[in-house]
Amino acid sequence: MKLKKEKLIEFYKMMQTIRLFEDRIVDLYARGAVPGLAHLYIGEEAVATGVCDCLREDDYITSTHRGHGHVIAKGAKLNPMMAELFGKKTGYCKGKGGSMHIADMDAGILGANGIAGGGLPIATGAGWSAKWRKTDQVTACFFGDASSNNGTFHESLNLASLHKLPVIFVCENNTYGISVSQAKHQPIVDIATRATGYDMPGVIVDGNDVIAVHEVASKAVKRARAGEGPTLVECKTYRWRGHHEGDPNQGERYRTKEEIKAWKEKCPIDKLRNKLIKDDAKLKNKLASIDKKINKEIDEAVDYANSCEFPSINEMYEDIYA
């Protein structure tokens, strides 16, 4: 299916929002303005953008420790996102979760997750819930290549396929589990082949091509919504930054500068920008103005986060029980 220009511009805007938001995080962390850990998604934006565009507002996602892109693409707003990263009480989790636990039940975001592989069974249950409640909601479950070695991956795919649950399992194969390359952590190259063991379709897609991701994800979502069961989608992509901000030399200890450079040349945003401008040179200015507008929104989000208060000390004891 050929997508309209407007849709592609939406993709551009979303990918660029994620990219520029995280570029700003790089800067804020380097200056010590934000506490804790940040695991950045830079380079992988096409996956979240392409997949979440296929979802409805009432669909669900589960995310990972590298979750900023997923939650922004599913509809999280920048102000409470930034406030949460700053640990402020106006953040998505009142400052109690931080970067690794952003959740918004109203937007169907069932939580980023600090445990690798932790989201897979939860996504399976959200899918089961839709089946029990007889809705046609779909759950998209994001996880990485390294999590596909965890028992939760296998248990979840088994359950989801056995019960034909409306889940799409989106493996972001960025070729590293922290510092360990895929070649060192599993004997296979294509994680999608693991779908065969669970009798579900396994699809491989260029995770740096938002149009290709979107096409594959739409089919998987359509199949899930029709009650035909789950799909494993493997998106081949790459993490530009280190495992987290503060990772020595941003990962150069365990991978080469050449490798990083080669993947940067496959930038998903440049790829789409070039295509749009090639098709219509006049779009160059429009895209630049989109960038400007996003940067302004991010400025506002930083100002907002800075201006908000930290939670009061007694809030530490709240929200443990319902």
Could you tell me how far CA 194 lies from the centroid of its own chain? 21
- Residue 313 interacts with another protein (CB under 8 A)? no
For residues 106-135, which are near another protein according to CB under 8 A?
Answer: 110-111, 113-115, 118, 120-130, 132-133
Instruction: Decide whether 62 or 173 has the Cβ nearer to another protein.
Output: 62
The correct pick among 151, 197, 227, 246 for binding another protein (CB under 8 A) is 151
For residues 77-106, which are near another protein according to CB under 8 A?
Answer: 91-97, 101, 103-105
Question: What torsion do the CA atoms of 64, 67, 69, 74 make, to the nearest 10 degrees?
Answer: 80
Question: What b-and-e string marks burial along 35-73, b requiring 16 or more CB atoms within 10 Å of the CB?
Answer: eeebbbbbbbbbbbbbbbbbbeeebbbbbbbbbbbbbbb
Query: Mask: binding to another protein, 43-72, rule CB under 8 A, as x and -?
Result: -----------------x-x----------
Q: How far, in Å, CA of 15 to CA of 71, rounded?
A: 12
Single out the residue of 92, 87, 58, 55 nearest to residue 76, CA to CA: 92
E-only strand ranges, 209-297: 231-236
- State the nearest-atom distance from the C-beta of 304 to another protein, in Å: 17
- Residue 13 interacts with another protein (CB under 8 A)? no
Single out the residue of 110, 79, 98 nearest to residue 38, CA to CA: 98
- State the nearest-atom distance from the C-beta of 287 to another protein, in Å: 35
- State the nearest-atom distance from the C-beta of 284 to another protein, in Å: 41
- Residue 144 interacts with another protein (CB under 8 A)? no
Residue that has been written with the tokens 């989109």 in this structure: 290
Q: Which residues bind another protein (CB under 8 A)?
A: 60, 62, 91-97, 101, 103-105, 110-111, 113-115, 118, 120-130, 132-133, 139, 151-152, 155-156, 158-159, 162-163, 318-322
